[in-house]
Amino acid sequence: MKTDIQIAQEAKMLPIKEVAAAYGIAEDDLELYGPYKAKLSDQLIEQTRTNSDGKLILVTAINPTPAGEGKTTTSIGLAQAFGRLGKNCLLALREPSLGPCFGIKGGAAGGGYAQVVPMEDLNLHFTGDFHAITSANNLLAALLDNHIQQGNALQIDTRQIVWKRCMDMNDRALRNIVVGLGSKADGFVREDHFVITVATEIMAILCLASDMEDLKKRLASIIVAYTYDGQPVTAGQLQAVGAMAALLKDALKPNLIQTLEHTGAIVHGGPFANIAHGCNSVRATKTALKIADYVITEAGFGADLGAEKFFDIKCRKAGLKPDAVVLVATVRALKYNGGVPKSDLSAENTDALKKGICNLEKHIENLHKYHVPIVVTLNAFLSDTESEYELIRNFCKEKGCAFALSNVWEKGGAGGIELAEKVLRTIEEKPSDFAPLYPDDMPLKEKIHTIATQIYGADGVSYTPAAEKTLARLTDLGFGRLPVCIAKTQYSLSDDQHKLGRPTGFTVHVRDVYVSAGAGFVVVLTGAIMTMPGLSKSPAAYGIDVDTEGKITGLF
Report yes or no: 150 and 187 within 8 Å, Cβ to Cβ.
Answer: no
The single residue of 55, 94, 332, 335 carrying the catalytic annotation is 94
The single residue of 130, 272, 310, 409 carrying the catalytic annotation is 409
369 flagged as catalytic: no
Residue 149: phi and psi, rounded to 5, are -65, -35
The single residue of 130, 194, 272, 381 carrying the catalytic annotation is 381
In DSSP notation, 185-208 reads GG---EEE-EEEGGGSHHHHHHHH
Spell out the alpha helix ranges (H) of 103-260. Answer: 119-123, 129-149, 201-208, 212-221, 241-248
Report yes or no: 132 and 250 within 8 Å, Cβ to Cβ.
Answer: yes
290 flagged as catalytic: no
Q: What is the 3-state secondary structure (H, E, C) of 340-376?
A: CCHHHCCCCCHHHHHHHHHHHHHHHHHHHCCCCCEEE
Quote the CA–CA distance of 201 and 166 in Å, as a whole number: 10
The single residue of 273, 276, 292, 299 carrying the catalytic annotation is 273
Quote the CA–CA distance of 22 and 149 in Å, as a whole number: 55
411 flagged as catalytic: no
The single residue of 105, 217, 354, 393 carrying the catalytic annotation is 105
Q: Which residues contact 362 (CB under 8 A, 6 or more apart)?
A: 457, 493, 502
Q: DSSP letter for 300, please.
A: S
The single residue of 301, 310, 395, 506 carrying the catalytic annotation is 301
301 flagged as catalytic: yes
Report yes or no: 524 and 308 within 8 Å, Cβ to Cβ.
Answer: no
283 flagged as catalytic: no
350 flagged as catalytic: no
Q: DSSP letter for 481, please.
A: T
Prior bond of 118 cis (ω within 30°): yes
Quote the CA–CA distance of 34 and 168 in Å, as a whole number: 24
The single residue of 39, 55, 71, 286 carrying the catalytic annotation is 71
Cα–Cα nearest to 354, from 297, 400, 398: 398
Which helix (H) or strand (E) covers residue 338, if one does? none
Characterize the bridge pairing of strands 110-111 and 114-117: antiparallel
Quote the CA–CA distance of 268 and 429 in Å, as a whole number: 31
Quote the CA–CA distance of 259 and 155 in Å, as a whole number: 52
273 flagged as catalytic: yes
Report yes or no: 331 and 353 within 8 Å, Cβ to Cβ.
Answer: yes
CA-to-CA dists, residue 478 to 232, 404, 471, 521, 524, angstroms = 12, 46, 11, 12, 17
409 flagged as catalytic: yes
The single residue of 48, 60, 72, 73 carrying the catalytic annotation is 73
Quote the CA–CA distance of 509 and 495 in Å, as a whole number: 7
Report yes or no: 503 and 518 within 8 Å, Cβ to Cβ.
Answer: no
Say how far residue 361 (Cα) sits from the centre of its chain: 23
Q: State the catalytic residues.
A: 71, 73, 94, 105, 273, 301, 381, 409
